Structure 1
Amino acid sequence: MRTFHFEKEKYGFELLMDLHKFETNPTIFFEPKPHTTDFFEIFIFEKAKGEIELNGNTFTIGKNTLFFISPYQKKSCEIDITEVKGFHLVFQNDFLSDFFDDKLFVYRLQYFYNSKHPQYLQLEKEAYDKIQFILNEIISEINNFQNDSLHIIRSLLYFSLSKLNRLYCKEYDLSSETQANSVLYKFKEALEIHIRKFHSVEAYCNILNVSRHQLNEIVKIHFGSTSIEIIHFRLLQEIKMELRYSNKTVAEIANELSFSEANNMTRFFNRHENVTPSSYRQYYQNDRYSS
């Protein structure tokens, strides 16, 4: 599977983010085959015709729709480039986290690393127009780069991401409090690092050095689910990605995801999805994204 890498020196100097309009970018390209990136992406469509498959879910692109993609998540795009208008925002975590001295910044945004809710949002026109104005200001700073442009770009990007976080949380009834107990965001980070090895609440409590009660209480307030539910959502996502985008056997996947035996993974998957891993894979074998 192809992985797209971030171009740090695109403008002749190091800039760990980029933003352009679809309609003014002559190199615009939507990869129809499954692929990943090593950076964060936000597709911001004012209008477009087509679909995006993200983490096994297919979305039809509507008016004023946004898609939030975290590094190394699988996606594919079937989009008519003659009918697209909007923005493509990309950045690496260090662009903001180093400046604000907050390594957990992207984990504070509910639309990134979210295995329970869709990484998708449709905006009302008024909200879209506000975001569009800020994005145009960022593009202007990139194109007319000056000594203080980095500070302005960071401030505008921080504002945009935080504003979108509020809108996303309102849509999916989640907490938009980005400065909550850091344990919450360390939990999200730990899931990304350890989900292929650890599946129990106790394991993450040990990693985070908190009690089960503490973790459950914090997670319930901000995610609306229990700790074990969040772990299971994330584990199911990992299994689905392996079934859809790899040629590994069910036994090989179970072994790599630290199930004691394949039957245990099959029971787990069947309990949550009402279908066996083999049936799930067979269902998608002949779809347009298979290769």
Structure 2
Amino acid sequence: MMKDIFQMYNIGHFINQPHNPTEFEILRFDEMAEPNVDDFHKHSFYEILWTEKGKSRQIIDYNEYEVKPNSLFFISPNQVHHFEEWKPLSGGTILFTEDFYLLNRSNKDTLFELSFLDNLYSNPCIEFTKKSFADVSNLIYQIEAEQKRKDRNTSIIQAYLQILLAQVQRHIDTTNPTIVSKKYLIQFKQFKQVLEDHFWENKTANYYAEQLHITQHHLNLICKAITNNTATDIIRARSILEAKRLLTFTDKSIAEIAFELNFSDGSYFAKTFKSFTNHTPQDFRSKMSEKYRTR
């Protein structure tokens, strides 16, 4: 297994109680202490930032987003996240684990059916009209009120959270005319999960299709429907993403990175990297180290 170069934080770290095993928190920006976490980090949980007023900039794996008022911003486990400014914001953050959302049921499909979670191919920032956002805010306030009660009931919070995410999915389905089949979405996320465990082994699309008990042709159909890319493109993109992280945040040589990601040789790695990013690995390293490592 590849060693992760980023610190993986649980919810306790974000309330500056690293040993607290809490599976759910809701915090307002103006009430929360700045968490003692690295600028660039990974979460073991889901996070929803809700913004009523003000703007912030978020970075997820080299993609920069401006988060505006009347919006929700979703961060999923394993994504590399950097929160730029947050002091001038009005709103807050909801932090919850997969188990909390699923009520400890073993069937993950209900979580995978939510197109905006665990999906680098959809925009994590969802903007609402003022009226739609008021409906969303009301649900958030009910969650907040329940969490503050001395006799708070976890099942009530879980129910509100599930309603909130179902509302968001309905908003997306209403504003986006191309609705992807739930079955494809679930299979795509299953593929992404297996890919997360094996991307560094440089396996073929056929290997992943076999793991999912489907044909390679069917895996390609699923990937095309969700992302407009082939399965091979997605596999390669995951390797390149890891290469970007290693180039930016470690001092490993380009040859070491190529070896770690199971490329046959350094020149083939450099050629593949350039075809994806329009930069040589060395140029990318110089540019990104200057941008991100000096902070």
Using structure 1 for the length normalisation, give the TM-score: 0.84
Alignment of 1:44-193 (within 5 A): 44-81=50-87, 83-144=88-149, 146=151, 149-168=153-172, 175=179, 177-178=181-182, 180=184, 182-193=186-197
The answer to whether residue 33 in structure 2 is matched with residue 37 in structure 1 is no
Contact kept in structure 2, 1:196 and 1:235, CA below 8 Å: yes
| CA 127–254 in structure 1, closer or farther in 2 if over 3 Å, else same | farther
State the distance in 2 between where 1:176 and 1:22 align.
Answer: 35
Question: Structure 1 CA distance, aligned partners of 2:35 and 2:280?
Answer: 36
Specify the alignment match of 2:258 in structure 1.
254
Contact 1:56 1:241 in 2 (8 A): no
Tell me by how many angstroms 1:117 deviates: 3.7
Give, in whole Å, the separation in 1 of the partners of 2:186 and 2:86.
42
User: Secondary structure, in 3 states, of the residue corresponding to 1:71?
Assistant: coil
For the 8 Å contact 1:45–1:84, the answer to whether it is kept is: yes
**Using a 3 Å threshold, how does the CA distance of structure 1 residues 288 and 190 change in structure 2: closer, same or farther?**
closer
User: Deviation at 1:172?
Assistant: 6.8
**Residues 245 and 5 (structure 1 numbering): CA distance in 2 closer, same or farther, change over 3 Å?**
same
Contact 2:73-2:126 within 8 A present in 1 as well: yes
Question: Deviation digits for residues 67-105 of structure 1, max 9, x if unmatched?
Answer: 222223222222141x11112011111112354432344
Tell me whether 95-104 or 122-131 shows the greater mean CA deviation: 95-104
Show CA shifts across 1:197-230 (max 9, x none).
2342111012112111222223333444332233
Provide the C-alpha distance between the structure 2 equivalents of 1:166 and 1:241, rounded to a whole number of angstroms.
34
Contact 2:73–2:125 under 8 Å retained in 1: yes
Q: Which amino acid in the other structure matches residue 45 of structure 2?
A: F
Report the CA distance between 1:190 and its aligned residue. 1.1
The answer as to 2:29 corresponding to 1:22 is yes
Q: CA deviation at 1:133?
A: 0.8
- Contiguous gaps of at least 5 residues in structure 1: none
Distance 1:171 1:192, change over 3 A: farther
Contact 1:31–1:78 under 8 Å retained in 2:
no
Return the TM-score normalized by structure 2.
Answer: 0.83
Query: How well do the aligned residues superpose, as a CA RMSD in angstroms?
Result: 2.9
Q: What is the one-letter code of the residue matched to 2:205?
A: V
Displacement of 1:55 in angstroms is: 0.8
Q: Which moved more, 1:217-226 or 1:259-268?
A: 217-226
* 2:294 matches 1:287: no
Tell me, yes or no, if the aligned pair for 1:34 and 1:289 is still in contact at 8 Å.
no
Show the counterpart of 2:3. Answer: none
Following the alignment from structure 2 to structure 1, what is the Cα–Cα distance between the partners of residues 281 and 101?
39
- Asked if 2 retains the 8 angstrom alpha-carbon contact of 1:107 and 1:188, the reply is no
Equivalent residue, structure 1, for 2:248: 244
> What is the CA distance between 1:171 and its match in structure 2?
6.1
Equivalences, count: 286
* Contact preservation (8 Å) 2:112, 2:186: no
State the distance in 2 between where 1:60 and 1:32 align.
Answer: 21
Q: Is the 8 A contact 2:53 2:91 kept in 1?
A: yes
3-state DSSP class of the match of 1:189?
Answer: helix
- Residue 174 of structure 1, CA deviation: 5.7
Question: Partner letter of residue 187 of structure 1?
Answer: F
Does structure 1 conserve the Cα–Cα contact (< 8 Å) formed by 2:248 and 2:292? no
